[in-house]
Chain A
Amino acid sequence: MMKHRFTILAATAILCIATALGASAQEVKVIKFDQLEQLRQSPHDTLYVVNFWATWCKPCIKEMPYFEAANQQYQDQPVQVVLVSMDAAQDMEKRVKPFVQKRNLQSRLLLLDETDANTWIDKLEPKWSGAIPATIFFNNKRKQYEFVERELTQEELQNLINKYKP
């Protein structure tokens, strides 16, 4: 009997720890375009890797692990990976949060709450047609900038980060 009780206790403890560890996915911050613009203008000597994705976008989900890996890899370096969701704000609870939890995403997470992309796409990048995935790389301090409107391979992402990282 005692032995049995101990097993249950141990199992509960393990479950608690596992849950605590597993629940450490990043929070998703809902932003408007002016906040995205602020991010784009960040004056720091940091390479920002800003990826536009959505839970419904298959190629985005395919390349997402590469961004997550880069976020991990350059944790102690001036490289910041930001994942900007294009999901509708009203899909936050139902789709975005469960996705983020399930994937245990560790990169900085934003959700751009703007319905009319026609009002902001050109302000961010006139070359962008609106297709996702799309990614911008920039370091304003060094006046570096590159825009990519397609799915990246892990190698391509690595090469771009290596090209620009301070």
Chain B
Amino acid sequence: MKKASLPLLYAACLLLVSVLLAAVPAPDLGYQVGDTATDFRLKNVDGKMVAMNDYKNAKGFIVTFTCNTCPYSVAYEDRIIDLHNKYAPKGYPVIAINPNDVQVSPEDSFADMQQRAKEKKFPFAYLQDETQEITRAYGATRTPHLYVVQKQKGGKYKVAYIGTIDDNSREPGKVQKKYAETALNELVAGKQVSQPNTKAIGCTIKWREA
């Protein structure tokens, strides 16, 4: 009797351990290059809901987490517009997503987003991630933070580039390395992205306070 209960005890312990392990949430690090990115349905500044799947002819997207309030985002606004104007005709439009919590960053309100989009005549969608779920899923940490995704045959979106636009936020005239454009040119040409990860200093995303 005693002999039989020992393996049973082991089994019970093992079960307990595995249950406990499963209960610990895996750290949410967001996407890495090569991962499949989720589509979203978020409100655009024109009031309509926008999803990647709405763009029937797109080959991919330049998903750009950006906002009204970060000086780095503001410094890059014109360059984000240029990226869209250059790559939307090649199948890669910009979709801008404002990740900031409005309570923490009031000037990132929907009305302020509408105002900014109007002032700058954004030629692309500028969406509000009210719940911050998409921002968390992608793993964006700063603004601006770019995710270039490429549409796959099955309709999935594969992350091909994560990073910054170029090597000089402050002075567009002194840019030497256009990281995002290089990646996009390679994608458009059907090549492997040579530098799929780049980093830049940026504003931390304003997360909702618990």
Contacts and interface: CB of A to CB of B under 8 A. Distances in A.
A148 to B, nearest CB: 12
Contacts of A147: none
Interface stretch (A100-108, A127-135, A155-163): A127-135
B168 A129 contact: no
B204 A132 contact: yes
A121 B145 CA distance: 15
Contacts of B167: 115-116, 118-119
A59 B205 CA distance: 10
Contacts of B168: 115-116
Given A116-B168, A122-B199, A130 B177 contact: no
Interface string A126-145: 00111111000000000000
A59 B141 CA distance: 14
Contact of B199 (A57, A88, A129): A129
Interface residues of A, number: 24
Contacts of B202: 130-132
Contact of B169 (A52, A59, A115, A122): A115
Contacts of B205: 131
A86 interface: yes
B201 A132 contact: yes
Contacts of B164: 117-118, 130
A44 interface: no
Contacts of A128: 199
Main secondary structure of the interface of B (DSSP, over half): loop
A32 interface: no
B163 A118 contact: yes
Contacts of B203: 56-57, 131-132
A116 B177 contact: yes
A133 B204 contact: yes
A150 interface: yes
Contact of A86 (B145, B174, B177, B201): B201
A149 interface: yes
B171 to A, nearest CB: 8
A121 to B, nearest CB: 4
Contacts of A59: 204
Interface string B61-91: 0000000001100000000000000000000
A38 interface: no
20 contacts: A54-B201, A56-B70, A56-B71, A90-B170, A115-B167, A117-B200, A117-B201, A118-B164, A118-B199, A121-B199, A121-B201, A122-B199, A128-B199, A129-B141, A130-B141, A130-B200, A132-B203, A133-B204, A149-B141, A149-B204
Given A88-B170, A130-B202, 16 more contacts: A56-B70, A57-B203, A115-B169, A115-B174, A116-B177, A117-B200, A117-B201, A118-B167, A118-B179, A122-B199, A129-B145, A130-B164, A131-B203, A132-B201, A149-B141, A151-B204
